Chains A and B, each alone.
Chain A
Amino acid sequence: MSGLLTLGQLSPEKVREEIIHTFEAGQHAYVHLSLLGIDISITKAVAFLWIGAAVTFLLMFVGSRMLKNRPGAYQVIVEEIYGFGRNSLAGQMGEEGRKFFPYTLTLFVFLLVLNLIGLIPNSYPVTSSITFTLGLALLTFFITQFVGIQRNGLGGYVKAFVPPGLPLKIVFVPFMFFIEWISELSKPLTLAMRLYANILAGHLLIFIFLSFILYFGTYMAVISVPMALVLYAFEIFVAVLQAYIFAILTQVYIEIALFRQEH
């Protein structure tokens, strides 16, 4: 009992350290590696990234190896995920956008698995790292620009950033071009920030509610634990939602670039 009571004697600095520890642990390198002077160590974050990728692949792969004409429950789930990617994620603006669904659907499942794995105690929430989300968002950005230029031609693609029929062309054309490009550049940023902030904030909230016990004492658990549980459940919802938002926005951005001239 006296041991439990001492929980309330931690200083704010110590509590902060306890909370941040989870995220610091992500930087802990198991194997130190370097490529051309760039640090590519295998950290806990990288390890959980691999676990997430492996789980994603296995979930889908196992489902694709046990296909029967009369599907079981697991096959129905796998086929539904495939159908969701092909029919719900892709084809937002045109049939041509459908060919990108393997990318967005993989992204969706991968992010979902990483989000959910991050909720397991002592794991590392990879999607709460801005490096990770910005990496995927930039990948999307480059794909977007590439397919946009490929389909519309460089001139057509750049011209399409300025809406037709502007008055005072000498002023408004550069202005609109500038505005549109800010909007274009903000897309990967918002994409990355949204996922990162949601997952990080969710985890921090859970930790903060639980840290009340460390700060105020054991009796705080009566409030902290139920609140943390509620937030935890909410985080599961957020995990699915954010994965979906990231994936569908990725698809929409790609399709906007594809059909830049038509819109």
Chain B
Amino acid sequence: MLDETGIFDLISTSLLFWEMITFAILLVLVAYFVYPPIRDQIQKRQAEIEGAIDEAQKTREEARELLTEYRRQIEEARGEGRRILEDARKQADAQRERTKKEAREEGDRIVQRARDEIGRERESAIRDVRREVAGMVIQASEQVLGRTVDHDEHERLVAQALDDLEAEVAGASTGSGSRTA
């Protein structure tokens, strides 16, 4: 021993000897039992993470494709819907127009029928009234004259008077726009 204090134990053969042996053993043990499992674990996790990232990218790609597909389908469906709606609207319009037209025609027909009926009724009423009036006038004339008047002649006169009256009435009513004409 060069230095008895031990601070500068330059040649401590025992320490040097055991140091080399100990360090060699430690190195071998650590290199065989410690580093490989840690390396494998790290590599495994790295592979897993890379796999997960790839998977995520693939999934995202798929999702993007699906989204595009869905958008396209939605666009198609929307177009289809619009078209159906348009058709329905057109059909409805056509139907409405047809119904309206039919209704108008039916109404016109009803009105026309009513008019015809009214015209017929009026004609018949006028005929009745004339007949009645003529009868009554003849009767009154017979009573006033006290004799039988020529029936045919009389009737003619009455009809003429009535015609005149009628013409007068007609002339008066055209000014007020009568619909009975």
Contacts and interface: CB of A to CB of B under 8 A. Distances in A.
Interface stretch (B26-34, B58-66, B110-118): B26-34
Contacts of A130: 8-10
Interface string A108-133: 00100000000000000010111110
Contacts of B16: 131-132, 135
B39 A82 contact: yes
Interface residues of B, number: 37
B22 A50 contact: yes
Interface residues of A, number: 48
Interface in A42-92: 42-43, 45-46, 49-50, 53, 56-57, 60-61, 63-65, 67, 69, 78-79, 82-83
B151 interface: no
B13 interface: yes
Given A27-B6, A42-B14, A67 B1 contact: no
A76 to B, nearest CB: 11
Interface in B1-53: 1, 4-20, 22-23, 25-27, 29-31, 33-35, 37-39, 41-42, 44-45, 48
Contact of B7 (A69, A82, A105, A200): A200
B7 to A, nearest CB: 5
A60 B7 CA distance: 31
Given A60-B34, A82-B38, A40 B14 contact: yes
Given A53-B26, A60-B34, A135 B20 contact: yes
Given A20-B5, A40-B17, A139 B23 contact: yes
B42 to A, nearest CB: 6
A262 to B, nearest CB: 27
B11 A78 contact: no
B23 A79 contact: no
A171 interface: no
Interface string A1-33: 000000000000000000010011111010001
Contacts of A129: 9, 12, 15
A55 to B, nearest CB: 11
Nearest to B26: A53
A243 to B, nearest CB: 14
Given A79-B42, A82-B39, A106-B27, A132 B19 contact: yes
Given A24-B6, A65-B37, A128-B7, 15 more contacts: A26-B6, A27-B6, A29-B14, A43-B14, A45-B14, A61-B33, A69-B44, A79-B38, A106-B26, A106-B30, A110-B26, A129-B12, A130-B8, A131-B10, A139-B23
Interface of A: 20, 23-27, 29, 33, 35, 38-43, 45-46, 49-50, 53, 56-57, 60-61, 63-65, 67, 69, 78-79, 82-83, 102-103, 105-106, 110, 126, 128-132, 135-136, 139, 200
27 contacts: A20-B7, A23-B6, A23-B7, A24-B6, A27-B9, A42-B14, A43-B12, A45-B14, A46-B15, A46-B18, A53-B22, A53-B23, A53-B25, A53-B26, A61-B30, A61-B33, A67-B38, A67-B41, A78-B38, A79-B41, A82-B39, A102-B27, A110-B23, A131-B11, A135-B15, A135-B20, A200-B7
Interface of B: 1, 4-20, 22-23, 25-27, 29-31, 33-35, 37-39, 41-42, 44-45, 48
